[in-house]
Structure 1
C-alpha cells in the first residue's frame, strides 16, 4: 500500500539526525527504548522524543511485550518498507510503502471496490 503525505512532514521528521538514527536501528529489528538508548548512545529522554515524533508521522509502531519476569514494556518497530520522493507537475510528493498483512490488504481493497 502506498500513502502520500506532505513532503514537509516527512522531510522534517527524517531530517532530524537522532530520528534517523532511531529509525535505522529499529528497521533492522524491533527494540525497546532502553535497548535503543544503549545501542545508539542517546539518552532515554532523547529516544522517547524521537519515538514520539516518528509515531506522530506513522513511521513506526509500538507493541507491548512481556519480559520473563512478567513485566510489560513497549517494543518499537519500523512500519514501512520504503519511501519514494518524486517531482510531478512542479510539486514534490512522498509515498510511503507500508508493511501490511495480506488479509488486511484484501479487506481494504474489497472496501474500496464497494465504494466506487
Structure 2
C-alpha cells in the first residue's frame, strides 16, 4: 500500500474487536447485517458501523439479493484471502492478497498498460 493514511485506517480497522469478529464471521460464511447481528449476538447498529468501516477499507464486498417477499437486502462477504503486515525501517507495509478472476486480472492489466 502506498498511502500512509490507508495503512493507518486498515490497522485501526483490524484493531477493532467487533470489526475483526464480523470479518472472521463473513470469511467463513456470507451474511446479511441482520444475520450477522443474530450470529454474533451484537446489535444491528454495531454491525452496520463495522460493515461500513470494513467496506471503506475495501476488506469486504456486498451483493444485493431479493428475499422471497420481494424485499432487497445486502449480503456481505470477505474479499481477500490473506493479509501480511510488515515493519521495515520503522515503516509499516500492508499487503492484501485477493483472489481475482481472469477477466478482472485482464482488465487490470489492460488498464495498467494504458490501452484505451
TM-score, normalised by the number of residues in structure 1 = 0.88
User: More displaced, 81-90 or 7-16?
Assistant: 81-90
- Provide Cα deviations, 1:44-90, integer angstroms capped at 9, x if missing partner: 01000110111111111111001122211111111111111112333
| Equivalent residue number for residue 46 of structure 1 | 46
Determine the C-alpha separation between the residues in 1 that align with 2:57 and 2:111: 24
Dislocated runs of 4+, deviation >4 Å: none
What is the number of residues matched between the two proteins?
113
| C-alpha distance 37-5 of structure 1, shift in aligned 2 (>3 A) | farther
Q: Which has the higher strand share?
A: 1
Q: Which has the higher contact order (CA 8 A, sep 6+)?
A: 1
Structure 1 position 97, deviation (Å) = 1.3
Structure 2 residue ranges without an equivalent (≥5)? none
TM-score normalised by the chain length of structure 2: 0.88
1:1-116 mapped onto 2 (5 Å cutoff): 6=4, 7-114=7-114
Q: Secondary structure at the match of 1:42?
A: coil
What RMSD in Å do the two structures reach over aligned CA positions? Answer: 1.6
